[in-house]
Structure formats: structure tokens, C-alpha cells
């Protein structure tokens, strides 16, 4: 019986070695064929291609100035963003910043629901001398923002899956990313090749 097992192991390793060899040779062929060609096709920048903080800051300013459906409720100056927080956000425009962040997260991780976002916006609750514990972020502000974004036509709900960006929402985020990439290329011309 041990000999049959040994034969099986040799056969399996032989096939694994052949598959690996085929993969390497295909990779080399593909690499050689694309090596001589210098691609002149430039793709549009997306939110993946620009620094996150710059993107969220610019998008929040755009939302505040241009999208009337997104307005902070009356309770925003007094509310915390989760049970883990000890104080309200210090930024008076935190509603727009959270909205921009939600749009970016929906772009990169969508379809995404409120519960997953609550986990991502959560933090550690300070329990004094006892060990800290992780708490989810508040769900009400995430839900309200999604409702406002749906009203604005930037986000839509997929039944049972969460929310995704509409084509208009994707276009907005890509446009903001293109503007940021252009600003960065003016400051650092070497970024133009990317």
C-alpha cells in the first residue's frame, strides 16, 4: 500500500511541476510580446489612483457646494458618531466629510450595507481601568446619508446586497479623481506617466 501512495505522490508532483512550467512559459511569452510595445493609451484616473485624504476633502467640498439633497439634520452638532466616541466630531462639516467617505467606500467595496459600514466606522470604547472593547459606529447617520444620496441619484439600493453607486455617482467620483490627478501632475510632472 505505501508504494501506491508513493506513486500517486510522484504523479501529482509531476503534474504540478508541468503546470508550473507551462504557466512560466506563458508568462514569458506574454511579457515578451508586450515588452516592445509602449502603451500610449491612458485610462481615466479613479478614486483608487489618488490619495484618499485629498479625494475625500475635495469631494466633501463639492457635495457641500453643489448637491442640495445632502444637508446635515438639525441634530448633527450634538450627536456622537458611535457609542465608542466620547465627544461630538470637532469639524462642523463632518456630515459632508462622512458623506464623501461613504461614497468612496461604496465605490471601492460596493455593494455594501449599513452593518459593514458600521463595523468599518467603529472604534475602541475606553472603559477606564478595564480593557477596551471594539464598538460599531452609529448606524443612524450612515442610513440618513444613504437616504440623502439616493435622493440625489448618486446611490441605489440592491435588494439584499446593500447599496451601490449609480452611473451618475461613479461619473462624479471619477471626475473628482481626474481633477486631483491633474493638480498632482502640475505639482509633480513625473506623475504624468502613471
DSSP string spanning 78-107? T--SBTT-SS--S-TTHHHHHHHHHHHHHH
In this prediction, residues 90-101 reach a mean pLDDT of: 87
In this prediction, residues 60-79 reach a mean pLDDT of: 87
Which range (52-56, 128-132, 148-152, 171-175) has the least confidence? 128-132
What distance in Å separates the CA atoms of residue 37 and residue 154, rounded to the nearest whole number?
39
Highest mean pLDDT among 34-43, 110-119, 134-143, 144-153: 144-153
Assign a CATH topology to domain 47-193. Arc Repressor Mutant, subunit A (1.10.10)
pLDDT tens, position by position, 134-170: 778 888 888 899 999 999 899 998 888 889 999 999 9
All structural domains of the chain with their residue ranges: 1-40, 47-193
Residue written as grid cell 446619508:
145
pLDDT of residue 131: 84
Side-chain-side CA neighbours of residue 103 (13 Å): 36
pLDDT of residue 3: 53
pLDDT tens, position by position, 175-186: 999 898 888 888
Amino acid at each position: 500500500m505505501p508504494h501506491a501512495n508513493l506513486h500517486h505522490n510522484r504523479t501529482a508532483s509531476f503534474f504540478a511541476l508541468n503546470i508550473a512550467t507551462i504557466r512560466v512559459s506563458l508568462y514569458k511569452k506574454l511579457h515578451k510580446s508586450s515588452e516592445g510595445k509602449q502603451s500610449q493609451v491612458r485610462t481615466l484616473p479613479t478614486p483608487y489612483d489618488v490619495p484618499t485624504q485629498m479625494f475625500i476633502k475635495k469631494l466633501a467640498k463639492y457635495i457641500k457646494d453643489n448637491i442640495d439633497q445632502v444637508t446635515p439634520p438639525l441634530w448633527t452638532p450634538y450627536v456622537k458618531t458611535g457609542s465608542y466616541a466620547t465627544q461630538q466630531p470637532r469639524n462642523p462639516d463632518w456630515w459632508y466629510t462622512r458623506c464623501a467617505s461613504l461614497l468612496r467606500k461604496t465605490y471601492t467595496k460596493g455593494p455594501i450595507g449599513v452593518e459593514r459600514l458600521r463595523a468599518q466606522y467603529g472604534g475602541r470604547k475606553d472603559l477606564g481601568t478595564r480593557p477596551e472593547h471594539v464598538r460599531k459606529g452609529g448606524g443612524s447617520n450612515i442610513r440618513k446619508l444613504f437616504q440623502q444620496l439616493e435622493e440625489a441619484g448618486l446611490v441605489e439600493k440592491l435588494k439584499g446586497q446593500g447599496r451601490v453607486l449609480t452611473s451618475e455617482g461613479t461619473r462624479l467620483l471619477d471626475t473628482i479623481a481626474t481633477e486631483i490627478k491633474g493638480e498632482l501632475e502640475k505639482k509633480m510632472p513625473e506623475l504624468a506617466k502613471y
